[in-house]
Amino acid sequence: MICYYIIMLDIKFIRENPDLIKEAARKKHIDFDVEKLLQIDEERRKILAEAEDLRAKQNSASEQIPQIKEDSERQKLIAEMKIVKEELSGEEDRLKVIVKEWESLMLDVPNVPDPSVPEGNSDLDNREIRKWGDVSAPDFEPKSHIELMENLGLVDLERGAKVAGFRGYFLKGDAALMSLAIWQLAFEMWVKKGFVPLIAPSLVREEGLIGSGWFPQGKEEVYKTQDDLYLAGTAEVPVMAFHREEILDEKELPKKYIAFSPCYRREIGSYGKDTKGIFRLHEFAKVEQVILCVADHEESVKWHEEITKNSEEIMRALGIPHRVVVNCGGDLKLANVKTYDIEAWIPSEHRYRETHSSSYFHDFQTRRLDIRYRGNDGKVRFCHSLNNTAIATPRALIALLENNQQKDGSIRVPEILVKYLGKEIISAEN
């Protein structure tokens, strides 16, 4: 049985551009055999044609049999159709096997990266394109976020581990209030920009994860419940599924959403990394930008730049020094056409660390989720999709605390957050 979702790239496009797919796989460092896919596809098409031919014979015979007056001729045709029926059954069984293999391969086809994506093997090869803020060393040795937070009673890791296991944590006091303030600030900023606010479900069906491109490759990173539901690793997953199997009107586009969600990731492969503090966690909170726009490359590029600048704006508002990098081919996921990362300066580490990821996908996700729109010309097309982190905590909190620490160990509250916290300084005394 053919699966319920639309496949990522148009198979016609793949047939006509195999070298482009090969180059996409090479640049993204993804092991994918396009020749095998085309071979399976050709076999699938052949079986489909044979099955259709047998089905046509059945239909024709069904019309002829009642009209045949001679019993012997009628019985002869009936006997022939029994053979055709058996042959058709065999072809359909073959088709089920080949379609299953075809679908599996189609889900592994990498999206074609933009020509502007640089070559590279990993995030170490990402290219800086701009930066903001003062990263000069203070006149004192900066404390790490965990030292600051423990000294000021802003986190409890011991009880967090007791309750939630490894990487468990409690945010306390002003850290909890500051997280709420950051989320509220994000919603206020994006609503002013015309984004529709959403609080998205954390539990999602498999369709949403396949559709957004997280599955099948990222299954090990996701928590599964006993009800065959999954805990989403980002609001992108439920929000992209929001319009699944819908046909929108062009005049409705772009659809712009700003969505809050708890996020859950198993962080497979990260053992031994960032074990101290609250930078790399199994659960965190995120406010996400998601956009659906018309199927036009220039339109996608325009929105990609805009949503990236939106996130830079909130980082500047919070006074967090940061830089923007364009991800190299080896740091692009299967679905992404192009990605920018925003990295915050972490004084205690004397380096930038990723806090945001901004990507566009063309119709990779919308084909899988069957999200289309009817253009002004009456034609139905797949939308283009984009997403970007607006702000994620506690990563943003880490950068905010470290960059606003003072010599005495207190934290200066950014002016824009004072109205939410009701104080300008976080110290052991208040």
Cα distances (angstroms) measured from residue 120 to each of 113, 331, 342, 388: 13, 8, 18, 22
How far is residue 403's CA from residue 344's CA, in Å, rounded to a whole number? Answer: 10
* Catalytic annotation present for 385: no
* Catalytic annotation present for 265: yes
* Catalytic annotation present for 367: no
Question: Per the residue annotation, which of 167, 323, 368, 395 is the catalytic one?
Answer: 395
Q: For residue 311, how many other CB atoms are within 10 A of its CB?
A: 24
How far is residue 171's CA from residue 344's CA, in Å, rounded to a whole number? Answer: 20
Question: Per the residue annotation, which of 265, 323, 367, 372 is the catalytic one?
Answer: 265
Backbone angles phi, psi at 42, to 5 degrees: -65, -40
Picking from 46, 41, 33, the residue whose alpha carbon sits closest to that of residue 15 is 41
How far is residue 71's CA from residue 63's CA, in Å, rounded to a whole number? Answer: 16
Question: Per the residue annotation, which of 280, 316, 381, 412 is the catalytic one?
Answer: 280
Picking from 295, 288, 265, the residue whose alpha carbon sits closest to that of residue 365 is 295
* Residue carrying structure tokens 């380096």: 351
* Dihedral sign, Cα of residue 148, residue 409, residue 392, residue 343: negative
Question: Per the residue annotation, which of 202, 357, 358, 410 is the catalytic one?
Answer: 357
- Quote the crossing angle between the two packed helices 34-64 and 18-28, to the nearest 10°: 140
Picking from 247, 239, 246, the residue whose alpha carbon sits closest to that of residue 195 is 239
* Catalytic annotation present for 280: yes
Question: Per the residue annotation, which of 245, 299, 313, 354 is the catalytic one?
Answer: 354
* Catalytic annotation present for 246: no
Report the catalytic residues.
265, 280, 354, 357, 395
